Structure 1
Amino acid sequence: MADVAGPSDAELTPKQRMAERMRRLRELHSRRTEAQQLNHKEVVEEDRRQSQPKNWERRQQWAERKLEEAEQRELAQKQGEDFDRKRNLDISAEDAAKWERRKRKHHNPDPGFSNYEASTARQYDRLVKQVKPDMEAYEAKKEAMGDAFYAGPGAIVHGHHKDTKEAIDRLAEDVNKQIEKRAKFSRRRIHDDEADIDYINERNMKFNKKLERFYGQYTQEIKQNLERGTAV
C-alpha cells in the first residue's frame, strides 16, 4: 500500500497534524494485522504439511491420475475404443523401460516361509530348474523299456530302472547342501521347557515377545497382581 502524498507538516494546523499521524498509525496497524494474518496462515499450512505422511503429495497425485484414468477408460468404452492400446501408443520406449525396471525392482521372488507344503513346492520347483536332462539317455531308456516306460494301471516297473552312480552322488550332494544351509540360516529358537506358555502357536509366541519387549516394563505390576490374584 503506497503512501498518499499530502501537504507538509509546516502547512498543517496542530489538529490536522494529529489527524495525519493517526491516519499513518492506523495504516501501520492495518499492515501489521495483515502481516500477522499471512504469518498465521503460513504457520497453519506448514503444520498441516508436517502432520501429513511424507509421501502425501505423491499419493494425492497418484489418486488424481487413477481418477483421471478411470474417467478416460469409461469414455473409451463408450466410444468403443481399446483404452489400454490407446494409452500404450502415448508411452515412449524410455518410459516403458523405466517402469519395467521399477516393477522388477519391487518384485520379491522369495515370498518367505508360509507353511511346509508351500516350502516343499518351492524346493521342488527349484530342483526342477536345476535339472539338465540328457535327451540321448532318455530316448535310449524309452526304447529299452518299451510300454513299461509310461506305466499304466497294474504295470510292474520294478527292476526296469537302476539309478546311476552319478545320479546318486548328485542327490547326496544336494541333500548335504540343504543340511548345511538349514544349519546356517535357520531362525528357529531353542525351546525352553521351563518358560511360561502364554501362546497358542509359534506366530503368537513371537507377537507376545514383541509386546513384552515394548510394553513389558509398563505391564509388569499388572501381570504380577494377576498372578497373585490381587488385581482390582
Structure 2
Amino acid sequence: MPSRKSKQPKPAALEASETPESAAEVAVEEHIADVEPVETAEGDDEASEGSPKAGSEDGGSGGATPKITMDERAAKMAELRAKMRDSTAANRKDLIAEHNKSKYSAKEAARNEKQRRLAETLREAVDAEDRGEDLERRKNWEYSIEENDEWEKRKARKERRADFQFHDDAHAARRKYKKDLDLIKPDLAAYQAQKEAALGLGSSSAVQSFSSGSTSNALTASEHLYRDANSLLYGDNKPSEEAIDRVVSKLNLDIDKRAKFSRKRTNEEEGDITYINERNRVFNKKIARFYDKYTAETRASFERGTAI
C-alpha cells in the first residue's frame, strides 16, 4: 500500500509574512516609498542589494514588498506637477482679484451706493403705483411734527440763500453774517467757565444759584454776564489763543477768496447772444472761425437794413 504523504510544514518565512506585524511593516514601507524623492533604478537596486539592514528586515517577508516602477513614479511626478500648476493658477487668480479690489476707490463705491438707492426708490414707486397707493403720503406718515417743522425751516432757509442777487448793502452784510455764523461753533466749556467766574461759584452750584436769582448779587452777576446795549461794561473780555487763531484763519480765508474772486461778466466780449445753451455757443464759435470771413458782410448788411 502506498503510504500517505505527510503534511509538509510551512516555511518560517511564509508564516512570518502572514503575521500582522509584517503586514504593518509592508504598509509603512509602501508609504515611505511614495513620499521619498524619485531616484534612479540603479540606485534602488544598489540600495536593496547592498544594505544588510534592509535584507535582514525584509528577510521575513520573502520579497513580498512591491517595488515602484519608473512609470508609476513618472505618473506620481506628473500628478504633483499638475497640482502645482493648479495652485499657481489659483494664487494668480486671487492676486488679480485683490488688485482689482484695491482699485475700487471710495468714489466708485459712493456712486454705486447712489445708484442702488435710486433703484430702490424707483422700485418702491412702481410697487406703490401697482398697489394704487400714494407714495409721498405714505412716506409723510413716518415723520413727526417736529421733524416736519425742521424740514420746512431748512427748506425756507435754502430758498432764501438761493437768492444771489445784490439788493442793497444791508442785505449783503446780513448774508455774510449768516454765512459766518455757520462756521462758528459754540464753545460750551468756555461759556460755563465764564458763567462760573461771573457768579463766583463752583461748577457744581453755578447753575442752581444762577437759576434761582433770589439775591441781588446773583442779579448783578447775571447782568454782567448777559449784557445789552445799555451796559457800561466793556473791554474786559480776554479771548483765548484758540479763539484768536480761529479769527485770524477766518480773515486769511476771506482775503484769499477776495483775491481769487472774479465776477463773471456776461456778453461783454461776445456781444450779441447767438446761442441757446453752452453747447450751442461752442458750436457757433467753431462755425464762426471758418465762415465769418464769408458771412460778415452779409450779416452787417442785414443789421443795417441795406441788404437786397
Shared fold per TM-score greater than 0.5 = no
**TM-score calculated relative to the size of structure 1:** 0.37
Instruction: Specify the structure having the higher radius of gyration (Cα).
Output: 2
